[in-house]
Amino acid sequence: MNQNPPAAFNSAKANESLAPFTPPDWWASPDTEKVKSSRAFDRASGKTIRGIASFMKETVFAQNHAVSGGLLQSLDPRMKLVTFFAMIVSVSFIKHPAHLLFVYVLTLALAAMSRIPIPFFVKRVWFFIPIFSAVIALPALILVPGKPIAHLFTLAGHDISITSQGLDSSLLFVLRVASSVSLAILLTLTTKWTQLLQSLRTIRVPSIFVLILGLTYRYIFHILDQVLETYEARLSRTISRQSAAKERGWIAGRAGHTLIHAMKTGDGVYEAMASRGFTGDPVFYSEHVSGIGDILFVFTAAAVIILIAVFGGFV
């Protein structure tokens, strides 16, 4: 036992490969030169990376609404999946905006009965609408021939106007998208992902497809965390402004690295699966049992679809 740091620590007793570490002189004289700090990287790339990560976590991984004990949460996920799928298909055949509006209001009512805050639900749905519909709905305003209702500009001697028929088509399309997206989001918000995957298996979706979907869900989270860690590691060592070209280069390099990492993870996962007997045709187990409430829900949904069809909604 020694009172002072043992000399033997630096002696030949220690392994050669674990030779004692001697700090370099410059560790003792920190650089005091003032460096103009910049969070340019944080502002640009950082916001994007954090934004994507937080959006993914909120939309894909948030499961608090799936366990909040409302109407839709209490149903057998298989019944729910089949019913919602049928309703989404039906929505694509409805031709009157009023009927579509009815379906949309119905989804709001279902959201309320499932304890999903309406402002949150509406915001979630309308975030997707422009992405899916703008590309088609906006040109349709002027491209669908019909009675002009608002003149926009003149191009090569032709009047470009919004037409009445164009407005109807666009409205119909946006409402269709809104109703379909509302139904899809309602389903995913009120059902755990794990239950959705199990439900897909029970309705005979090919098991390899369900497996890939499950793996994607499982590993997006893992890879997302890695991307964030890489970003934070760089941020912790960034004190001065980087040129835009350098930032682009770094992001491209990290994207490539993430892809390689994902491929390596994929190889490892395949080995782990093969090690436990997977040969390309996965076998799964499902444990859901349907009750009266589920059957009632399916019948009610079927009745709504039929009513819309009977009263002239379908093409």
Partner 1 sequence: MNIYDIDNVSFSYSGKFSAISGVSMTIAPGEKVALLGPNGSGKSTLLRMMDALVFPDSGEISFMGRVLIEDNLHDEANTFFRKNVALLFQNPEIQLFSPTVFDDVLFGPMQLGIPRDEALHRAEESLEKLRIAALRDRSTHELSIGEKKRVAIAGLLAIDPGVLLLDEPTAGLDPRSCRDLIDIISSAGESGKTIITATHDLHLADELSDKAFVFSDEKTIIASGATNDVLSDTERLREWNLTHIHRHKHGGRWHEHEHKHL
Is residue 197 within the footprint of partner 1 (CB under 8 A)? yes
265 in contact with partner 1 (CB under 8 A): yes
Question: Which one of the spans 114-122, 167-175, 210-218, 305-313 is the region binding partner 1 (CB under 8 A)?
Answer: 210-218
Q: Which of 272, 295, 296, 303 binds partner 1 (CB under 8 A)?
A: 272
Q: Which of residues 212-241 bind partner 1 (CB under 8 A)?
A: 214-215, 217-219, 221-222
Cα 247 to Cα 252: distance, rounded to the nearest angstrom = 9
Query: What is the token pair recorded at 161?
Result: 């106007």
Q: How far, in whole angstroms, is CA 242 from its chain's centroid?
A: 30
Pick between residue 11 and residue 243 the one whose CB is nearest to partner 1. 11
Q: Among 28-36, 73-81, 243-251, 281-289, which window interacts with partner 1 (CB under 8 A)?
A: 281-289
Q: How far apart are CA 169 and CA 176, in angstroms?
A: 10
In the set 149, 150, 239, 269, which binds partner 1 (CB under 8 A)?
A: 269
Tokens at 226, concatenated: 């890695």
CA distance 82 to 86: 6
Report, in Å, the least distance between residue 3 CB and partner 1.
6
Q: Residue from 284, 291, 299, 300 that binds partner 1 (CB under 8 A)?
A: 284
Longest dimension (CA), the chain: 99
Question: Should residue 59 be labelled a site residue for partner 1 when binding is judged by CB under 8 A?
Answer: no
Using an 8 Å Cβ cutoff, are 182 and 104 in contact?
Answer: yes
DSSP H/E element including 84: helix 77-91
Asked if 268 touches partner 1 (CB under 8 A), the answer is yes
> Considering just the CA atoms, what is the radius of gyration of the chain in Å?
29
209 sits near partner 1 (criterion: CB under 8 A): no
Whether 78 contacts 257, CB under 8 Å: no
Q: How far is the CB of 19 from partner 1 (least distance, A)?
A: 10
How far from the centroid of its chain's Cα atoms is residue 194's Cα?
Answer: 15
Q: Given the complex with partner 1, which of 145 and 277 has the nearer CB atom? A: 277
User: Residue 260 belongs to what H/E stretch?
Assistant: helix 244-275
Query: What is the C-alpha separation between 174 and 145, in angstroms, rounded?
Result: 19
Q: With CB under 8 A as the contact rule, which of the stretches 122-130, 131-139, 265-273, 288-296 interacts with partner 1?
A: 265-273
The residues that touch partner 1, with contacts defined as CB under 8 A, are: 1-6, 8-9, 13-15, 17-18, 193-194, 197, 214-215, 217-219, 221-222, 265, 268-269, 271-279, 282-285
